Structure 1
């Protein structure tokens, strides 16, 4: 199975990098799988486990989705937590899928609680000129739309992501711990 790299960029600088198995591309976008205990590298060069259950780890199995044209990147985690980074549309650049984080983080917890974190961070980034008026409007629309989709069970947030996760875990693939010589940012 092909391994690719994913990079979440922050403004004005910084990024996080992790590896994933490329699963498939369908009507929703491109699906990736990062097994439990896989590594994530921050822009300072430090490593932690991807999709951590808590601040000290360990990481859990996680399927991710890069939509064809949406302003987000989704993470379906084995604990039942659904998290989305609102950002620019993910694109493949060389061997890396990359997107720019626009701060907002819609989520659905395993108990069904739905919300969005970091409205204050978006406001601060906008005030600092790091996020344009148009990007702010897109980010806000994306977060509100995602919350509605979570509540209504609109696919891929109904069963599709969770079914992908179960199938990926069943493959028994090893954790991805080698990020090679990829640059920090």
Structure 2
């Protein structure tokens, strides 16, 4: 894809991913009547921007159109569209901070082959962005529960065979880590 998507296109993609199937009639008057009844998020999208967003998504092969027998058209996410949605969801990931720390360190270790270097670098950047501390080049530590988020990240980057998630009760430089995470 040559250009990034605008915020309306992103919103439309995310709404599709949420299970929304948009059936569009051939005439604008009819399909905006459909949209009007669909939901609050659709109503917040400007009609002209929506039209442009749908054309952009179609042009970029993120959605496909299915012509129905009754003269309407249904828009469906393609595999490329689903991947794009995963990336947008990945950008919004955050690790929740509980009221009280459970005393366990979450340690991510990885040994990702050189042929997957872009995924390895993306993982490093994502872990840093989530607040992990880089203990060594391929070892990151975080104090809070994040297994589901890590599983999601390694699935998106397709690096499951080379990444391990551990919960550790004690690390020999724990005092240093507690200072980093403001526990002392």
- What TM-score comes out, normalization by structure 2 length? 0.22
Higher strand share goes to which structure?
1
Higher alpha-carbon Rg: 2
Higher helix share goes to which structure?
2
